[in-house]
Structure 1
């Protein structure tokens, strides 16, 4: 069929005229968001779209792979020096294998992506064309089209196999002989494959269709028994029962087709997106790109379509990236936004005050003082500029609208109070009013006649009937900046000074009686009253006051509110206890009975998340209207039942010490088992929605955290140095206080020395050590007892020695002195000469006794106690005996002798041996030189006295001259004593004291 046929030309012209405005009209229900290279995409031609099991969106382009989480786009491109990067820049299609793996077909081959460590494994067949299109995933097997031939890929064995079946041969025949568009939908191969599986009898018919047309995509609708075929020349349907019944739905170049419920979505080459009713094949909408509007589709060339789990429709564009919209019926919608078609009608899209009057008109004031008057269908029926309100003013900020009992409209503004009468305005003022007193922020009626106007400088009395300010000063809250004021159902007056809490008065017979105060720093923006309770929307959250007792509680973000800077608390009649709250983080519904919270954002027909005070109203038809920084949002509470909840919170990028946690996961226990020395845990949490928003995510790790912590979506979290133990990661969304979800179980493993068997080993070792210590203690105690006994014996021995010395030396000497004293006294008168001789002997004996006592005392002191060393004692003795006889001498004493020689007996005997030897040199040797030494060698302390005198005969050696005493003292020291003497050549006396018997001070 060609377009040169005049009959066909006439048919196409009539078809286009019949469709008329529907063909290119903008359908009002779908609002698009756009993602392109400016958003971070690798390239703008999107060939294929896929959503994985976690909810992430994947886009395949002519130049790389893209992953989107609702906030950011992450790209994957081939890196020539990295074998774990994706191989192939042109992405044909994407399909999921399981929760961890994706299969990606590229012009270069097959890639398997592991999301746990974000690496790719590349597979291809040598000597084959590597262009891979994935047909489908069947268990552990992938069905692939390569070079128009069908292959299977065993995921477990990583092995390709050629498929040779009737279906494979038919499919190969179709794609070799058929006509397929170069920019066709990448799903067409899968769709044809599935069609042949389900309808093998239609192989010939399909082959004929593919031979006649350049086919881009097909769709089978079992309900209507039709197959839809989109081609470069038109959109056709064929009856599955009577395949020859062909119908052209619409001429043109169509690239892809998709069905959802009873709607068929078709992407075109140049006309954007068309929507058809599946039963009648009538067009019910179309969407084209309007560059001046931000919420239209991003381009008119649509090459691929996809519907995700949340029923978002994704359109892959050529050159313009991705456009998507949500197909669910919204709980609301936003009108008069900056991106809407009628934006030129408005001065601003930031709405700050609303009021629906009894005549059904909704007055909406924007931030510039422009008023739009809307009817029940939200059409603008009147526009009022600031200069129409007051010719002297170019800008007016409207704080609040009021309505009098006679139906007149009051405007509370920063320039004063204005009354509107049939769109004519006049100002209520007094010449003495200050600028702050002109700033009207609210009004209440005290009775039928008297009212109060709240200003930034106290309050003014107002005559309700005369519509004028009364010249009477109001002393109530004088000078205060009154932010808001209202009269309760209990006839009490509630006054909120600017960020200064709440003051409650009762008005009785012209007087104000203070009831109670709430001292806190909040502003009040809205209220809802029940019989005993007032619920206030404040800058600190929801304030609930018991009207009788004046007691209050505050519900804020710590109790799950998405935001605590609230502008409204509108009651919902469809469910008891529901209040709708606008805030600086979207709109949420709070139920003050069961404490449930449901948050709504950009997915729900809301265009902006920041709303304004006084910009809220409940219309007579039940609509909730909120003013935001970009448009008027309308909420339909009755649609709540149909509303789809947000997706779950996802755990991803779980890392242990900055490495992938996949290897630590125990599949049998469904738990991460982490060694104690690798206890640094980090992870990310995200609540994936499209479009996404920074709604709070609450998390905790049980065993560490006592409460849930809040973080903005998405959240990057780290726990360092987790102690040994078992933990659970739990998360929840706002309002889900009783519905948290476990995302991961974690065990920090104890080291080997904290295992049960290690404790047994330690106890056994400790018992052994205690036994050894106890044995050593007992042995040491026994040794000390033995040493004590030996010491006592030594002391007793020393006492006996000292006693013996005192008796033998000192006792005998004292006896001699006593005898000499008696004789001296006896001979004093008769024999004076003998008496003097006795006195001289007494003097000699006394001196000798003192010397012996000195030696005894010296021997008892250690070197640390005695300042006189052995060497000094020898020098003193030599000086007294040898110097007078002109005998030269030299003395050598090792410096360690005094420190090591501490035993009193040894010290005494050593000294006496030396003194006796020196005495013999002086008295008998006739020597002129002497050498005295006390030195250590490796085994002994050597005491040597040598002279060059006449020597000693053998007879003298045997019989005396003190030699026997020296020998006896050496024996007492268990020392070896020797005398060597040669007549005429001198004498050499040596005493060898073994080191083993010397007591060292260690």
Structure 2
């Protein structure tokens, strides 16, 4: 999977190429105590890790990102094991007696094999065996899946197929007084390199034979071997050999190497070693992508600003250092002895010299030559230098040295040893002279546009033209094959056509990491290389794709120097900076590393809390979350122990634009709306200029219940049920009201029928009798007959009124003359208006529309009629007040007079009885308040709910 696992004194650690994850917390250990000191590693076909310990065999289950422990021995026995490796479906270990244990991962069983080893240890801990630690001679499984365990006294061989063991070298070591101190297995030759107290031995695993190779005066404490080299560390030196044991490097031990042990090469041929008390140290034997000479060299304390070339292919760097790039050799030569203010150099390959122009502290100018033998020769002091300012640049045009000072452009007359200012100049402060084709130069000026100068055969200016007005260009490089000019500016790079018009701008928007350009060079294919404040960049001349180089690629430092660049005759490019210089010859060979960059999801947080999952977060491909779990943080890393920091992580949501992050980053997805999202993650390969998608995670954030379709269907269904129920209830209530109304109407009809029969019928009978009596008396006693006829008239009027009341009560209408208030007012006006009684009528305006019931309407009118008649006939009142209102869902009827009153205990007559009966018929309450000479108040309270 590309991780390096490292045990310590208190935890197990995992290195991914970016950072170290410490497995120390209880959350990573299931039903077992935390692993503190591990002994050996093994990895099965599913990439689960097995680590020996004093507690048993710890198993890291990758799919769960959890540890558990397997007890390989019966309870109560010492569980200490050392993990050797994985072969034939089994994890092979040994104990402190160097007996073999095979743990079958499928059956979860362990089998024990007694080897009868003569060597035993009390502990595997490095400090318990400081004179002869097992970590300098790690046991291993060879190319044939057989086990080898080395101890100071010999080799223990175990055949995993036959389960037989054999011991080697015990007599040989005893006879030669050797002790095995260290060892390393060479899988390429199936041999074991053995370090003893005096010799380096070679044991052939095929022939089982031993060979003496190199003799040492001290014990060999560490050995490592890969496909091409052998590394040997004794108590005094650190040596590197070829496979034929030809020594290619050695140095005395310094503090970095003195306390190192446990040497091992990884797949990229880097040497890993444990430095006691400090952690892991790595030696990389791979050549860098960009060759670098560091300023840690005493020769470049102030950085590198100048380059020039000798005819033998070596280079003059920073005025006085000769650099041989083939041998990577630096040599200082004799330099100008005068204190120099500024030194500029230019290569003259035709004359096999390097011209060196020196402006001294006293502003005098000396000219030197450095010949092909690297000898510095004084050529002369230049004259005619009054008020020329500081030296800026120097170039060689054919045989002419053209230089720039603050006051302008000059040609050095090497014969006369004088400076001649070029005519027809209007500008000062030239910064850089850029030669191009057709005997032209482009000169950049500080804080001004550049100027194109045309020179004649005598190198005098015959034409000038300002270009790139309003911009600040510095460096110009011409591609004559494509008729283009590349320009480095303070805001990126410009590509111009042959007329110096911009055809392309390259800056941060095109992924250029630095935009303040310090130097540009074109390689043989017309590709542009640029140094700037953020390192070094490559720009493809055809499609303008960009590669930004970083410290992991070998740049001398992030910041380079102005004007510190050079292209040699063989196409090697040089760029200088404050911490050294880089050199390389394009095209670069981008290594196809064995360790591929992979995105690894180390941790997922939901609402700032760790995702509760029993699955390794890297295996999660779908997250199903509630609507309020919408803040997601993903810690992602690039797993690549070789160059993990060089591969940016990229991600996007739902096929949107790719977002670039560091190789160790957090991806924050905040306030996601309920929906389904597709999160794609990958790495960006800058050398191929493409995104490599590696993981897709579906994030499904549930909608709140009130936004779900089924919820609204349920609500709609419920609403329909409620509506249908209400409609049904309304219909039922309407039918019930209609039934009650019909019943009440029927009862009213029966009542009216009874009234007509009892009251009006009796009156009609009386009229018939009185008519007969009056008829007999009309001739005999006319006066008596007249009285009876008057009585008949009153009875007829009474019958008419009663019939009118009955008809009105049965036929309520919208006509105001048919309303209760009108009926009452008309009757009161008819009765009381014919008297001297003052009266006042107050009727609530809502009475007419609220009271619909026939019986209620009729009885209220009859009660009021009865009360008014009583007041007129008996009360002798001068004032009468009548009120009819609605109070708290009750009909309140009240009639007051200021008459003579009466004793309520001695009420005689049918009037009061009839009124009380009519109120009680309406389930109301009837009350009479009256005392002698204090008037009378009649009050009725009738429930409105019955109407």
The one of 265, 280, 286 aligned to 2:250: 286
Change (3 A) 1:287 1:683: farther
2:909 is the alignment partner of 1:957 = yes
**Match of 1:409?**
355
Instruction: Report if the CA contact (8 A) 2:17-2:638 is conserved.
Output: no
Match of 1:112 in 2: 59
Secondary structure in structure 2 of the residue aligned to 1:299: helix
Which of 125, 147, 156 is the matching residue for 1:193? Answer: 147
Aligned twin of 2:814:
796
> Do the aligned residues in 1 keep the contact of 2:564 with 2:575 (CA within 8 Å)?
yes
Q: Deviations over 1:330-371 (max 9, x none)?
A: 445433541xxxx44x26162122222557552222xxxx63
Question: C-alpha distance in 2, partners of 1:425/1:520?
Answer: 40
Helix, strand or coil for the counterpart of 2:819? helix
TM-score after normalising by structure 1: 0.67
Paired with 1:982 and 1:331, the residues of 2 have a C-alpha distance of 126
Q: Mapping of 1:687-702 within 5 angstroms?
A: 687=638, 695=646, 697-702=648-653
Partner Cα separation in structure 2 for residue 208 and residue 651 of structure 1: 51
Q: How does 1:80-479 map to 2 (within 5 A)?
A: 87=34, 89-97=36-44, 101-113=48-60, 120-124=67-71, 125=73, 126-138=75-87, 141-148=90-97, 149-155=99-105, 161-164=110-113, 169-170=114-115, 172-173=116-117, 175-176=119-120, 182-185=132-135, 188-191=138-141, 193-194=147-148, 196-197=158-159, 203-206=166-169, 208=171, 213-219=178-184, 226-239=191-204, 243=208, 246-251=211-216, 252-268=218-234, 270-278=235-243, 280-290=244-254, 298-318=256-276, 321-335=279-293, 337-338=295-296, 343-344=297-298, 346=299, 348=301, 350-356=303-309, 362-365=315-318, 371-374=320-323, 379-380=329-330, 382-383=332-333, 388=337, 390-391=338-339, 393=340, 396-398=341-343, 401=346, 409-411=355-357, 419-421=367-369, 422-424=376-378, 433=387, 438-443=389-394, 453=404, 455=406, 459-462=408-411, 468-470=418-420, 475-478=425-428
Secondary structure of the structure 2 residue equivalent to 1:476? coil
> Aligned runs of 1:355-754 on 2, under 5 Å?
355-356=308-309, 362-365=315-318, 371-374=320-323, 379-380=329-330, 382-383=332-333, 388=337, 390-391=338-339, 393=340, 396-398=341-343, 401=346, 409-411=355-357, 419-421=367-369, 422-424=376-378, 433=387, 438-443=389-394, 453=404, 455=406, 459-462=408-411, 468-470=418-420, 475-478=425-428, 481-489=429-437, 493-498=441-446, 502=450, 504=452, 510=461, 512-514=463-465, 516-517=467-468, 519-520=470-471, 523-524=474-475, 530-548=481-499, 550-573=501-524, 576-595=525-544, 597=546, 601=550, 608-637=557-586, 640=589, 644=593, 647-657=596-606, 658=608, 663=613, 671-676=621-626, 677-687=628-638, 695=646, 697-703=648-654, 706-723=656-673, 724-733=675-684, 735=686, 739-751=690-702
Q: Deviations over 1:168-212 (max 9, x none)?
A: x34x53655999973133653225715543898993535555777
Contact 1:970-1:977 within 8 A present in 2 as well: yes
Contact 1:88 1:107 in 2 (8 A): no
Deviates more, 1:543-552 or 1:487-496: 487-496
Cα distance in structure 2, aligned partners of 1:940 and 1:952: 24
Tell me the secondary structure at the aligned position of residue 499 of structure 2: coil
Deviations 1:272-303 (A, max 9, x none): 4333333x344333344345xxxxxx213542
Q: Taking structure 2 as the reference length, what is the TM-score of the superposition? A: 0.71
Unaligned segments of structure 2, at least 5 residues: 149-156, 370-375, 742-810
Distance in 2 between the 1:309 and 1:709 partners?
32
Task: Give, in angstroms, the shift of residue 593 of structure 1.
Answer: 2.1
Contact 1:311 1:326 in 2 (8 A): yes
SS at match of 1:163: strand
Q: Distance in 1 between matches of 2:317 and 2:190?
A: 51
Please list the CA deviations of residues 791-840 of structure 1 after superposition, one character each: whole Å capped at 9, or x if unmatched: xx965154423896499569979xxxxxxxxxxxxxxxxxxxxxxxxxxx
Pick closer, same or farther for the CA change 1:951–1:215 going to 2, 3 Å.
same
Contact between 1:111 and 1:121, CA under 8 Å: does it hold in 2?
Answer: yes
Distance in 2 of aligned mates of 1:803 and 1:660: 80
Contact 2:402 2:410 (8 Å CA) reproduced: yes
Checking the alignment, whether the CA contact within 8 Å between 1:560 and 1:735 is kept in structure 2 is no
Q: How does 1:860-875 map to 2 (within 5 A)?
A: 861=845
**Contact 2:649–2:660 (CA<8 Å) still a contact in 1?**
yes
Q: 3-state SS of the aligned residue for 1:315?
A: strand
Cα distance, 1:304 vs structure 2: 1.3
SS at match of 2:166: helix
Q: Which has the larger helix fraction?
A: 1
1:560-584 Cα offsets, whole Å, 9 max, x none, are 44544544444444xx354444444
- Distance in 1 separating the partners of 2:290 and 2:516: 22
Cα distance, 1:261 vs structure 2: 1.3
* Number of equivalenced pairs: 831
Q: Is the 8 A contact 1:446 1:452 kept in 2?
A: no
2:923 and 2:210 mapped to 1: Cα distance?
137
SS in 2 for 1:593: coil
